[in-house]
Amino acid sequence: MKAAVCEAFGKPLKMKEIPTPNPGPGEVLVRVHGCGVCHSDLHLVDGDWASWGTPLPIVPGHEVTGIVENIGAGVTSFAPGDRAGVPWMQYACGRCAACKTGAEMLCAAQRSTGVTVNGGYAEFVCAPEAFVHKIPDGLDLVEAAPLLCAGITVFAPLRRAGNLAGKTVAVAGIGGLGHLGVRMASAMGAHVVAVLRGAGKAELARSLGAHDVIDSEKEKIGRALTKMGGADLLLLTGISARLFEQCVPGLGPNGTLVVLAAIAENASILPAGLLTGQKRIVGSLIGTRDDMDAMFRFAADHGIRSMVERHPLSAVNEVLGKLREGNVRLRAVLTPG
């Protein structure tokens, strides 16, 4: 099969012919229709995560959708021809403290698609049945690919927040994650505030379901949100420490700011400011398998899809370059063939 292979960190991926995997007992072989290109893939190929013990060579890609090609012995929930998705999480032990408390995505023994095992920058990918998800018929397979990472990342904290009808949900950063956050929060009945920089994405944010837009170039984020009564929930999808600092004051009473982006800068906030109104700052990493299945049902029921650029797998290095330079509009998906 054709695959884009990372043979050395910091070097372009190589298009190669490698053996098509055979599904072993309990495994599913998926013919890839689409694989989303995530910022995490950049961290991998650039060597930022070399200390994680990523084996080389490796095929990146963890937002994989396709059709089941073959199944291994003992597989009962999938059959050839089924629509399937392979996400980041490909194994969790079920025995550690994180798994026992319902946070399997924090399992220290986790195997990750495209990070510790071969991923979806290829014509086929193989994964354990228990960690493969069914894709509802109402979703386009290419447009559904980013839901396996970007989609679940915003859906999980929205789901944990409970009934959001009438609540104010702010989404800071209208990019690959943020545009899905706006759509999902709006479909949940929230009053959605899009926080962006510059007027370029204001019309897009409103078309996605945002009721209000805050342009950080024209007004202070915290002050603008406070005038609205404060955010009950704020999803921080941008990777700027300054954005984080500006958003915290905009939380309302008992408001929660959820950090969804890997901000690699120091940020400064006044802890005393959290006391007034009992504000919370938490992190959130992807979601559980149950979250994933719920997210796909929700997306199908509400017509939620990712806005994507489609690129052939052979253009993978060009796409990674566009992403590195910030020139991908929302999400990019690689399609074999």
pLDDT in tens, 34-60: 999 999 999 999 998 887 778 999 999
Give the whole-angstrom CA distance, residue 105 versus residue 160: 15
Q: What is the DSSP string of 110-179?
A: -EEBTTTB--SSBSEEEEEGGG-EEPPTTS-HHHHGGGGTHHHHHHHHHHHT---TT-EEEEE--STTHH
Give the whole-angstrom CA distance, residue 196 versus residue 217: 8
Q: What is the pLDDT of residue 199?
A: 83
Q: What is the mean pLDDT of residues 149-166?
A: 97
Q: What is the pLDDT of residue 200?
A: 86
**Does the pLDDT at position 337 exceed 80?**
no
Using CA of residue 324, residue 325, residue 330, residue 331, what is the dihedral sign? negative
Q: What is the pLDDT of residue 289?
A: 97
Q: Would the CATH topology of 2-149+287-335 be identical to that of 152-283?
A: no
Cβ(286)–Cβ(263) below 8 Å: no
Single-letter code of the amino acid located at 38: C
Q: What is the pLDDT of residue 126?
A: 98
Cβ(123)–Cβ(1) below 8 Å: yes
Confidence of residue 190 (pLDDT cuts 50, 70, 90): very high
Mean per-residue pLDDT of the chain: 96
Give the whole-angstrom CA distance, residue 133 versus residue 136: 10
Q: What is the mean pLDDT of residues 136-161?
A: 97
Percentage of residues in the chain having pLDDT higher than 90: 91
Q: What is the pLDDT of residue 98?
A: 96
* Tally of residues, the chain: 337
Using CA of residue 140, residue 143, residue 146, residue 152, what is the dihedral sign? negative
Q: What is the CATH number of domain 152-283?
A: 3.40.50.720
Using CA of residue 223, residue 224, residue 228, residue 230, what is the dihedral sign? negative
- CA-CA distances (angstroms) from residue 92 to 54, 84, 98, 161, 163? 17, 19, 10, 24, 29
**Does the pLDDT at position 102 exceed 90?**
yes
Q: Does domain 2-149+287-335 have CATH number 3.90.180.10?
A: yes
**Does the pLDDT at position 158 exceed 80?**
yes
- For the chain, the straight-line distance linking the first and the last C-alpha, in angstroms and rounded, comes to 11
Q: What is the pLDDT of residue 262?
A: 85
Residue spans of the domains in the chain: they are 2-149+287-335, 152-283
Single-letter code of the amino acid located at 287: G
Q: What is the pLDDT of residue 333?
A: 98
Instruction: Please state which of the ranges 39-43, 144-148, 260-264, 332-336 shows the lowest mean pLDDT.
Output: 260-264
63-81 per-position pLDDT tens digit: 999 999 999 999 999 999 9
**Does the pLDDT at position 4 exceed 90?**
yes
Q: What is the pLDDT of residue 52?
A: 74
Q: What is the pLDDT of residue 239?
A: 84
